[in-house]
Chain A
């Protein structure tokens, strides 16, 4: 049970990292468009 719980939390952290990177990509894309 605990191992599953920890896996879920690890998934949330990794997903959070992916979302942050995606947000940075999107921002960089917008800046490129403006330039």
Chain B
């Protein structure tokens, strides 16, 4: 009789245990699904932030290309005039030693420097993009300081046309 009572208690306890286990599994499954949904919402939010920055960057690339187009129009004129200038050199004269009509000219600390056009373009990209030093992460190889002396002070570089008139 005592054993029968114990058996009944064991059966009842096992039943409770089964119910508790079942409830635990249901709850943990529901938690896991909620966690997945929250994770998905977080990731979609991260994606929307990413997409917004990507769109902004695309707009800047377009703007960059528009600027390059304007530069190219000037470059076309520079090339045409370079060829014409060569033929226009007055009779009995020659280009001074070390000078080339293919170069531009610029001032560094008010001193004239021969400046190949591609060096000027690289220097403008370098200082306009506020690159701190050559080889900074993600910089174009085409963005370079004009000279060693202007690596950390790009503002020293001025167009030749800015020189004070004598």
Name A residues whose Cβ lies closer than 8 Å to a Cβ of B: 1-2, 5-6, 9-10, 13-14, 16-17, 20-21, 24, 27-28, 31, 35
* Chain A: minimal CB distance from B90 (Å): 54
Whether A21 touches B36, Cβ cut-off 8 Å, given contacts A6-B51, A31-B25, is: yes
Give the residues in chain B near A1, CB-CB below 8 Å: 58
Whether A35 touches B22, Cβ cut-off 8 Å, given contacts A2-B55, A2-B58, A24-B36, is: yes
- Determine whether the beta carbon of A6 is less than 8 Å from that of B50: yes
Which DSSP category, helix, strand, loop or mixed, fits chain A's interface? helix
Between A and B, 24 residue pairs with Cβ closer than 8 Å are: A1-B58, A6-B47, A6-B50, A6-B51, A10-B44, A10-B47, A13-B40, A13-B44, A13-B47, A14-B40, A16-B40, A16-B43, A17-B36, A17-B37, A17-B39, A17-B40, A20-B39, A21-B36, A24-B29, A24-B32, A24-B33, A28-B29, A35-B21, A35-B22
We find that the number of chain B residues with CB closer than 8 angstroms to chain A is 19
Determine which residue in B22, B29, B36, B39 has the highest number of CB atoms from chain A within 10 A of its CB, and name it: B36
